[in-house]
Structure 1
Amino acid sequence: MASKPKVRPVHEVRLGRIKAAIWENETQNGTRHNVTVTRIYKDGEQWKDSTSFGRDDLPLVAKVADQAHSWIFEQATNSGE
């Protein structure tokens, strides 16, 4: 059985433990981007991620979201959208 190729984000923004992954989707109306924001943490020797954020994480969530928005806006500007 053939495995599916792993889909990777087109760009990532990371500040400390907070990461925004930017995904590209081709649609009939052109390229669109979606963003997932996660908090990474280590459980023993294994790295994991969570979509739950504590009080002290929130300023970084705002910053990575802002940087992701800027990156997406730049891509749209560069492609003439």
Structure 2
Amino acid sequence: MANSPAYKVRLGLITATVWDNDGFYSVDMSRSYRNSEGQWQNTATYSHSDLLNIAKCAERAEIWISRKINHAQQ
């Protein structure tokens, strides 16, 4: 069974997925798009119009991780 993400945030077509690896957090960023058959796919290639949502998703992921780390240290 695959591990579930610890946290996910989506803005527009951009998604940040946070993974918890025993207290070490990593983040995957992806952009969704529809292929020629109309099926949803993901890519790690971004256009200029994606950059603001990437920054916002990264900030929200960082805030979530910081809260988790701070809560664990208390």
User: What percent identity do the matched residue pairs reach?
Assistant: 30
Structure 1 unaligned regions, length at least 5: none
Length-normalised TM-score, structure 1: 0.84
Instruction: Return the offset for 1:77.
Output: 0.9
List structure 1 runs of 4+ shifted beyond 2 angstroms.
Answer: none
Length-normalised TM-score, structure 2: 0.91
- Larger Cα Rg: Structure 1 or Structure 2? 1
Q: 2: CA distance between counterparts of 1:60 and 1:45? A: 23
Residue in 1 that maps onto 2:13: 17
| 1:39 lines up with 2:31 in the alignment | yes
Instruction: Return the offset for 1:6.
Output: 2.3
For residues 2-38 of structure 1, the C-alpha deviation after alignment (integer angstroms, 9 at most, x for no partner) is xxx1222111010010000000001xxxx11000000
Question: In proportion to residue count, which structure has more helix?
Answer: 2
Residue in 1 that maps onto 2:41: 48
Q: 2: CA distance between counterparts of 1:58 and 1:69? A: 16
1:53 is paired with a residue whose SS is coil
Q: How many positions carry a matched residue from both structures?
A: 73
Q: Cα RMSD over matched residues?
A: 1.2
Letter aligned with residue 66 of structure 1: E
More relative contact order, 1 or 2 (CA 8 Å, 6+ apart): 2
Structure 2 unaligned regions, length at least 5: none
1:21 is paired with a residue whose SS is strand
